Amino acid sequence: MSNIDALMRLSPVIPVLVIEDPARAQPLARALVAKGHPLLEVTLRTPAALEVIAEMARVEGAIVGAGTVLNPRDLDASLKAGAQFIVSPGLTEPLGRAAIASGVPFLPGVASAGDIMRGLDLGLDRFKFFPAVAAGGIPALKALAAPFHQCRFCPTGGISEATAPDWLALEAVLCVGGSWVAAGI
Ligand code: 3PG
């Protein structure tokens, strides 16, 4: 199993997907992979999400993860559906410990120095910076990255095709996430 750092370096943009209809899963995954997006984050925000993960995981070249994973129960369900990485909007100790014990690549959300310190205490140093724009944007991430120079981030939330390059130019940023990627497909 890859580690989260290797996955974050695979491609600069991770599509964040909110999908209602499982019939859309495979065509959308194929289209995104063809556009150079092998990593696909399927959020657990729709009743169909677990089925969508299972469907997308069958698409050649797709590395399908679950997003909006809130607790160990969501984690288990995502892993059973075939999720190959796990993204959460924030970091709790129960989820962090369960994700680490499972061995799955795990990208928890952080928005403050305290969040990052709790992650470091668990042995984590790769984070989603969420909600990236609302939490202060590029100046906030630069300020947070300075004392935590060993950490790397995937900013997500409010990023667009136009602003993604500004984020990706930061040394602390390995990739960005966003729902805009799939919007036109
Ligand atoms: C997420 O789940 O990571 C965000 O809701 C995605 O944010 P965006 O829709 O602003 O890209």
Ligand 1 closest atom vs CA 128:
3
How far apart are the CA of 148 and the centre of ligand 1, in A? 24
pLDDT (tens digit per residue) in 132-178: 999 999 999 999 999 999 999 999 999 999 999 999 999 999 999 99
- Regarding the beta carbon of 65 and ligand 1, being less than 6 Å apart is answered no
C-beta of 178 in contact with ligand 1 (< 6 A)? yes
Burial class (CB in 10 A: 0-12, 13-18, 19+), 18: middle
Ligand 1 atom closest to the Cα of residue 133 is: 10
CA distances for 27 relative to 9, 38, 70, 81, 98, angstroms? 25, 14, 27, 18, 32
- Give the integer Cα–Cα distance in Å for 53 and 82: 7
Render pLDDT for 78-88 as a digit per residue (tens, 0 to 9).
Answer: 999 999 999 99
Q: Could you tell me the CATH number of the domain that includes residue 150? A: 3.20.20.70
Q: 163 CB under 6 A from ligand 1?
A: no
Where on the phi/psi map is residue 61: left (φ > 0), alpha (ψ -120 to 50), or beta? Answer: left
The residue type of 58 is: R
Inter-CA distances, 170 with 47, 55, 128, 176, Å: 36, 34, 14, 11
The token pair at 179 is 């729902």
C-beta of residue 40 within 8 angstroms of C-beta of residue 61? no
30, pLDDT greater than 70: yes
Site to probe by mutation for ligand 1, drawn from 14, 69, 156 as the one with most ligand atoms within 8 Å of Cβ, is 156
pLDDT of 184 = 79
Q: Average pLDDT of the chain?
A: 97
Q: Say whether pLDDT at 63 is over 90.
A: yes
Q: Is 109 in the pocket of ligand 1 (CB under 6 A)?
A: no
* Pair 74, 41: CB distance under 8 Å: no
* Domain total of the chain: 1
Q: Which two tokens stand for residue 18?
A: 């909110």
Q: pTM for the full model? A: 0.96
Give the position, in ligand 1's atom list, of the atom nearest the Cα of 109.
Answer: 3
pLDDT in tens, 40-59: 999 999 999 999 999 999 99
CB of residue 67 inside a 6 A radius of ligand 1: yes
Q: Which domain holds residue 94?
A: 4-182
